[in-house]
Amino acid sequence: MLASFRNLGAALLLLGSVSALDAGARENVSARDGLELATSSAHNWAEDSVLVYLENDDIVDAQGSAARWGYLFYSAHLDRWRAYSLSDDKVENAGELGFAFDAPQVEANWIDSDRAYAAAEKAGGRAYRDQNSGALRSMLLIRGAFGEDDPNRTTWTLVYDSAHAPSLFVVVDAENGDVVRAWKG
């Protein structure tokens, strides 16, 4: 058996050695682009795990894409939360959340980050950035927390920040891309 392994052309490594990470620039992707890998990883951790939260882990560009996204999964069987931070189609970091976060599973048919970003920009995000020298700080996908009149709703929430004005929050329905509400605070 081992002889056949050698015949496969196995690469010889040395224990204790650490290979250098790719140093090239990371490609910006939409949130859905990493979903399959994140889900696959989470299912290897816990078969029953479900996505409960998603957030950009790097700067969101003008297309609603980012070099890194963070995906949070919950396993009812283990009663634990585990997050995966992905970039370049690889799991860059995985770990326990460190605190309980009892969010429900997000709906499966959520719109991608590019559509959510475009909707928020149109609903005041772009104007806020222009008028206040602001920037989009975070965009997060969660179910229930920002649903207000419909707690079953999964929403994208985009948070714009500026040093000269209160933050702007824009909540976008993750099913149809409609802006649910926007406020400053």
Partner 1 sequence: MRRLLGGILLCICFNAAASPQAQDPTVEIEVKKAKIDALENGSLRFLRENRDFLRAQLDRLRQVRRELNGGASALNARDLLLRELMAGIEAGEDSLARERALVAQRELMQSVSELGELESQLDRLEVLLGGQSGRLDQIEADYAGRQRTALLILVQNFPQQDGPERIILEDEDSMRWEVSLSAEQREALRAGGAAQILHEFVEPRRLHFSLRFAGSGYDARPAVAVDVDPARDRINLLSIDLARLDPSSEALLPVSHFQR
Q: If binding is defined by CB under 8 A, does position 177 make contact with partner 1? A: no
d(C-alpha 141, C-alpha 52), whole Å? 8
Query: 20, 23, 99, 164: which one contacts partner 1 (CB under 8 A)?
Result: 99
d(C-alpha 91, C-alpha 88), whole Å? 8
DSSP structure string for 114-149: HHHHHHHIIIIIHHHHHHHT-EEEEEEEEESTTTTT
Q: If binding is defined by CB under 8 A, does position 20 make contact with partner 1? A: no
Span of 8-16, 22-30, 109-117, 119-127 interacting with partner 1 by CB under 8 A: 8-16
Q: If binding is defined by CB under 8 A, does position 149 make contact with partner 1? A: no
Cβ at position 25, least distance to partner 1 in Å: 17
Structural contact between residues 170 and 120, judged by C-beta atoms closer than 8 angstroms: yes
Structural contact between residues 55 and 68, judged by C-beta atoms closer than 8 angstroms: no
Give residues in contact with partner 1 (CB under 8 A): 1-2, 5-6, 8-19, 37, 40-41, 43-45, 53, 55, 57, 68, 70, 72, 83-85, 90-105, 137-138, 140, 142, 144-147, 151, 159
